[in-house]
Chains A and B, each alone.
Chain A
């Protein structure tokens, strides 16, 4: 077991996901490569921040991890064992989601206690009395007063709803929690409460998080490792402290530049990201980032970037692969 503690609890091996997209009524379907070979290892008790612009594939990745979609090719391994697409129920005991919008993630027709207890019911855990006991425990754990249990989602505020969603995600004692923009729909003062709660729960329960967010300040605050996605590929992955101190990939640099820290002495930064986000149906040749990259060279337009493994992480970029020259 001691060896397992450092081994990766979750591993994605060369995951691809392709959708067939029709552009127009009579056009032939074209492949959209939402994920183009994503590999990622997540160690136990890590918080892996996954950042990138909308459309980069981070939500698709989350869906595959939750078993909501099957990858086109590639494998998902939990504790070294492959999880097939049909093993959703098995996956559900180990990986649970917290979604972005607490207004749509709770069934409005169900009482709070029914919502939180649903995973136990589905997996036939315990009898009614023990389930209700578990609900009481969870409500306490996420900081909700016991009186809300008979209420309905419409009676709760956004922050309270997100706490209910967290309670539902944790009642089966999963090891991995996929947080998909868990605070972006919340007010600033509520966001900090939820972030604190997620941090505390991780300490208390030894959880592993995959934390998907576009708010880099939040990712920096919570994550131990960060993976940066661009057009369905992870272009840089590194320990959080390293990545924020010295971003290597030009895209990571642009992302970090665009973070607006609340400092009145500074003005709005210029990210030098010239062109618009490319259409994933016809991604640019070579390095997919080259049309927007201020440091692009000739090779970037033609050759896919090398996979440069460094201390503790990797970056996919010509700037670092050519070190031998």
Chain B
């Protein structure tokens, strides 16, 4: 009887779920680290104009390829040096955070709406709707994301909006899969039946009985897909098919630095590390949220 231990614990008067959640969040170091780093990056992106000190587009051909502060010959005015057109590397990095976060957030939002709608519909109604959605998910999984994105961007031309839309329309599969199975788990629980017996409309049952109980899964998938979108944007931009220069995207920065990679490795190391830290923070956040909200942790 695995339940024994739970029930003993349950007899002990438990604190409210909110207090429990707070305790669990702050007890999870990965989650706290992820949140902190992500928060710092978001603040940097918001206040980029104040922090940068330079216009990320301003070229200064006289001061090209200045090395960053830890190397000899660095310019104290350009802490992270300048690129091959003499643009301040720190300013471009900070403004680049905006692009990455915006693309990650909006792509996750669009794909989240599409995937959740499809997954919830398939899980709740089942039958033919489920068959259709499952088929669409399989079709989508059969398409290589990068190739499709490349083709679309090649046809429509690259811009922030196009990249967001393409990624948003391509990354909904995991949302749909996870939401579908989450709904299947919750759908037949007795409180859903109770709500039906009370006379709740289908809309109310989905929105107020089912969604709050699967929202944790949704948040976890959203963070992972956000990280996924950020990496894809960088990849597309690197290939020249994402956001177009001179926009300061981290992918473009890596792309532009690749000719000098062997002589000036910092040129790609700096945006590369930034990308790494951002994606790591988001993934830690997602993992942490999953651990914190996992049912087996429930008081």
Contact = CB atoms under 8 A, between A and B. Distances in A.
Interface of A: 63, 66-68, 88-89, 91-93, 95-97, 99-101, 104-110, 118-119, 122-123, 151-152, 154-155, 157, 165, 168, 172
B194 interface: yes
12 contacts: A66-B197, A67-B196, A92-B198, A96-B198, A97-B194, A97-B197, A100-B190, A108-B298, A122-B201, A151-B16, A154-B17, A157-B10
B212 A109 contact: yes
B296 interface: no
Task: Pick the most buried of A123, A155, A157: most chain B CB atoms within 10 A of its CB.
Answer: A155
B200 interface: yes
Interface centre among B195, B199, B201, B299 (most CB of A within 10 A): B199
B212 A99 contact: no
Contacts of B189: 104-105
B194 A105 contact: yes
Contacts of B191: 104-107
Given A99-B194, A154-B14, A165-B194, A107 B209 contact: yes
B16 A122 contact: no
Most buried by B among A88, A95, A118, A165: A118
Contacts of B13: 155
Given A68-B196, A92-B197, A97-B193, A122 B204 contact: yes
A122 B200 contact: yes
B213 A108 contact: yes
B81 to A, nearest CB: 51
A39 B47 CA distance: 73
A187 to B, nearest CB: 9
Contacts of B17: 108, 152, 154-155
A122 B189 CA distance: 19
A155 B299 CA distance: 9
Contacts of B213: 107-109
A320 B67 CA distance: 103
A96 B14 CA distance: 30
A37 B203 CA distance: 34
Contacts of A101: 190
Nearest to B14: A155
Interface in B166-210: 189-191, 193-201, 204, 209
A168 B14 contact: no
A151 B16 CA distance: 7
A286 B135 CA distance: 45
Contacts of B196: 66-68, 88
A154 B198 contact: no
Contacts of A154: 10, 14, 17, 298-299
A109 to B, nearest CB: 4
Contacts of A107: 191, 195, 209, 212-213
B14 A68 contact: no
Interface of B: 10-11, 13-14, 16-17, 189-191, 193-201, 204, 209, 212-213, 298-299
Contacts of A118: 195, 198, 200
Given A118-B195, A118-B200, 19 more contacts: A63-B193, A91-B199, A92-B199, A99-B194, A104-B189, A105-B191, A105-B194, A107-B191, A107-B195, A107-B209, A109-B212, A122-B204, A123-B199, A152-B16, A155-B13, A155-B14, A165-B194, A168-B194, A172-B198
A123 B195 CA distance: 12
Contacts of B10: 154, 157
B63 to A, nearest CB: 57
B198 A122 contact: yes
A88 B199 contact: yes
Contact of B198 (A63, A99, A110, A119): A119
Residue from the set A107, A151, A152, A157 with the largest chain B CB neighbour count within 10 Å: A107
Contacts of A119: 198-199
Contacts of A100: 190
Contacts of B11: 157
A96 B197 contact: yes
A93 B16 contact: no
A118 B10 CA distance: 25
B204 A68 contact: no
Contacts of A63: 193
Contact of A89 (B16, B195, B199, B298): B199
Contacts of A92: 197-199
B192 to A, nearest CB: 8
A105 B190 contact: yes
Given A92-B198, A122-B198, A154-B14, A99 B299 contact: no
A319 B209 CA distance: 51
Contacts of A89: 199
Contacts of B299: 154
Contacts of A108: 17, 213, 298
Contacts of B199: 88-89, 91-93, 119, 122-123
B291 to A, nearest CB: 18
Nearest to B11: A157
A96 B17 CA distance: 29
A152 B11 CA distance: 14
Nearest to A109: B212
Contacts of B200: 118, 122
B41 to A, nearest CB: 30
A319 B199 CA distance: 45
Contacts of A68: 193, 196-197
A122 B194 CA distance: 12
Contacts of B16: 151-152, 155
A168 B190 CA distance: 13
A157 B13 CA distance: 9
Nearest to A65: B197
